[in-house]
């Protein structure tokens, strides 16, 4: 029986570099154990720091193949899991009970697909193995309920006449002002009332052990947005824009706003980057080209992904089954899941919030 070199095993494991953090598994602190018995059976336990179910199979195969090539190895068993921590928020604001990380999805202007992105990002993070909730903070135009297929007029349960129980929608924990007022009631409120209502929804909802709470922010960068950015304990923000110059200008304002209140901008999602003809499949950049890349470069942030302008995205979302759920194997769903992994990976490089809730562990692949 050949004695297996521990050094050779470690070298084999180091061949794999994480595609989102560009580090090997030892640099990430992701190797929890690596053991070889006398019969040549090798067991590796890996724990990635972000939602990563979609790449667990590839990691398993690549690392497993590398370990099988080591002299003396007879069999390899690789376990891939993930552990999501709580990360620091601006000005050390107190955490929201039951929530580890809050991600604000914002845009400098309306009409860029912010809510569609927020819903699909939440569903994509969930598909990658995280526990996710979504809060519709867009008081004047709450649309998350419709996008998630929550029937009109359905109300959340309450506890002690004080707390809301979040709605279950495609496995997400969801709450929205639309669930507590009727669709036909216009929100004729001033700024302080709006931010007060959002804080109440956030703090009086019984969120249940969420890794991420996605907050769909109201569009714009005015007083309401600034107040929310100062009061809500946000771990990071995602800016949604289109390649159009006017949208990019407003997107920059969004980045500036979050930076003013010490909230890290995790990156930019460029929506409607190309139009895909539903008849012939021809692609055309209707709103310009490369805008998301330019804004990301100018502000030293990441271009998280580019999404096409395609009729099915709108139809699926309007119908209450967003793309990630409706067509999980489609190119659009694949892009959203890639964006979700990027967001999670980017967050994992931040300083930990040691006063936050306990980290959750899930094993996703054997």
Rounded to the nearest 10°, the torsion over CA 308, 239, 251, 349 is -120
Residue 267 has pLDDT above 70, yes or no: yes
DSSP secondary-structure letter at 92? G
Residues 63 and 151 in one domain: no
Distance (Å) of CA 288 to CA 218, 242, 295, 304: 25, 9, 13, 18
In the chain, % of residues over pLDDT 70: 77
User: pLDDT digit string (tens) for 321-362?
Assistant: 777 887 788 888 889 999 999 999 999 999 887 765 544 444
Q: Please tell me which residue, 295 or 45, carries the higher pLDDT value.
A: 45
- Torsional sign, CA 278, 279, 281, 286: negative
Confidence of residue 212 (pLDDT cuts 50, 70, 90): very high
At residue 312, the pLDDT reads 64
Last-in-domain residue among 84, 110, 131: 84
Last-in-domain residue among 84, 104, 130: 84
User: pLDDT digit string (tens) for 234-260?
Assistant: 999 998 887 655 545 666 777 888 888
CA 242 to CA 331: how far, in whole Å? 19
What is 29-90 written as a DSSP string?
T-EEEEEE-TTSEEEEEEEESS--HHHHHHHHHHHHHHHHTSTT--EEEEEEEEEE--B--G
Confidence of residue 363 (pLDDT cuts 50, 70, 90): very low
Taking alpha carbons only, the member of 249, 251, 231, 250 closest to residue 239 is 251
* Mean pLDDT computed over 60-86: 92
| Least trusted range by pLDDT, from 89-103, 113-127, 178-192, 348-362 | 178-192
Q: Is residue 365 part of a domain?
A: no
At residue 355, the pLDDT reads 67
Q: Is residue 360 part of a domain?
A: no
Q: Is residue 363 part of a domain?
A: no
Most trustworthy range by pLDDT among 27-41, 108-122, 141-155, 217-231: 27-41
Q: Is residue 1 part of a domain?
A: no
Residues 106 and 178 in one domain: yes
At residue 318, the pLDDT reads 64
| Beta carbons of 215 and 234 less than 8 angstroms apart | yes
> ∠ CA 347-351-354 to the nearest 5 degrees?
110
Confidence of residue 151 (pLDDT cuts 50, 70, 90): confident
Residue whose structure tokens are 């050779």: 8
Phi, psi of 117 (to 5 degrees): -65, -45
Residues 74 and 107 in one domain: no
At residue 191, the pLDDT reads 57
Q: Is residue 217 part of a domain?
A: yes
At residue 53, the pLDDT reads 94
At residue 346, the pLDDT reads 94
Residues 200 and 71 in one domain: no
69 Cβ neighbours under 8 A, 6+ residues apart: 12
Residues 80 and 197 in one domain: no
Q: How many CA atoms are closer than 13 Å to the CA of 81, on its beta-carbon side?
A: 14
By residue range, what is the domain housing residue 74? Answer: 6-84
Kindly report the CATH number assigned to the domain that includes residue 57.
Answer: 3.30.300.130
Residues 68 and 205 in one domain: no
Kindly report the CATH number assigned to the domain that includes residue 147.
Answer: 3.40.50.300
Distance (Å) of CA 249 to CA 220, 234, 290, 295, 355: 11, 23, 14, 9, 37
Last-in-domain residue among 56, 84, 112: 84
At residue 54, the pLDDT reads 94
At residue 231, the pLDDT reads 87
User: pLDDT digit string (tens) for 18-49?
Assistant: 999 999 999 999 999 999 888 889 999 999 99
Q: In total, how many domains does the chain have?
A: 2
Residues 144 and 286 in one domain: yes
At residue 247, the pLDDT reads 47
> What strand order describes the sheet that includes 172-176?
167-169, 172-176, 132-136, 210-216, 99-106, 236-241, 265-270, 303-306
Residues 51 and 112 in one domain: no
Residues 180 and 288 in one domain: yes
Q: Is residue 362 part of a domain?
A: no
Residues 172 and 202 in one domain: yes
Q: Is residue 213 part of a domain?
A: yes
Residues 279 and 172 in one domain: yes
Q: Is residue 240 part of a domain?
A: yes
At residue 144, the pLDDT reads 83
Q: How many CA atoms are closer than 13 Å to the CA of 260, on its beta-carbon side?
A: 13
Q: Mean pLDDT for the chain?
A: 82
Residues 310 and 199 in one domain: yes
Q: Please tell me which residue, 229 or 16, carries the higher pLDDT value.
A: 16
């Amino acid at each position: 029986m050949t004695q297996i070199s521990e050094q050779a095993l470690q070298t084999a494991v180091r061949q794999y570099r994480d595609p989102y953090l560009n580090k090997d598994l030892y640099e990430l602190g992701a190797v929890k154990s690596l053991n070889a018995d006398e019969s040549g059976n090798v067991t590796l336990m890996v724990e990635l720091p972000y939602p990563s179910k979609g790449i667990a199979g590839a990691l398993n195969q690549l690392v497993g193949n590398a370990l099988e090539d080591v002299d003396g190895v007879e069999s390899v068993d690789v376990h891939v899991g993930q552990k999501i921590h709580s990360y620091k928020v601006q000005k050390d604001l107190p955490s929201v009970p039951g929530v580890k990380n809050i991600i604000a999805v914002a845009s400098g202007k309306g009409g860029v697909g912010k809510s569609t992105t927020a819903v699909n990002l939440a569903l994509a993070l969930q598909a990658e193995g995280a526990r996710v909730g979504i809060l519709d903070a867009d008081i004047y135009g709450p649309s998350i309920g419709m996008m998630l297929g929550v029937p009109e007029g359905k109300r959340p349960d309450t506890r002690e006449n004080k707390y809301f129980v979040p709605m279950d929608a495609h496995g997400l924990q969801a709450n929205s002002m639309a669930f507590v007022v009727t669709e036909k009631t216009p929100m004729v409120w001033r700024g302080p009332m709006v931010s007060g209502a959002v804080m109440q929804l956030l703090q009086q909802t019984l969120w249940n052990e969420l890794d991420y709470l996605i907050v769909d922010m109201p569009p714009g960068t005015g007083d309401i947005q600034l107040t929310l950015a100062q009061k809500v304990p946000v771990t990071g923000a995602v800016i949604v824009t289109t390649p159009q110059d006017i949208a990019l200008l407003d997107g920059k304002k969004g980045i500036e706003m979050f930076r003013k209140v010490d909230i890290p901008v995790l990156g930019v999602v460029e929506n409607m980057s190309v139009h895909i003809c539903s008849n012939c499949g021809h692609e055309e950049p209707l709103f310009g080209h490369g805008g998301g890349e330019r804004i990301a470069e100018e502000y030293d942030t990441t271009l998280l992904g580019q999404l096409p302008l395609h009729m099915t995205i709108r139809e699926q979302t309007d119908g209450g089954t967003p793309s990630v759920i409706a067509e999980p194997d489609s190119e659009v769903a694949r892009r959203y899941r890639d964006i979700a992994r990027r967001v999670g990976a980017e967050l994992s490089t931040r300083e930990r919030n040691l006063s936050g809730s306990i980290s959750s562990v899930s094993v996703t692949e054997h």
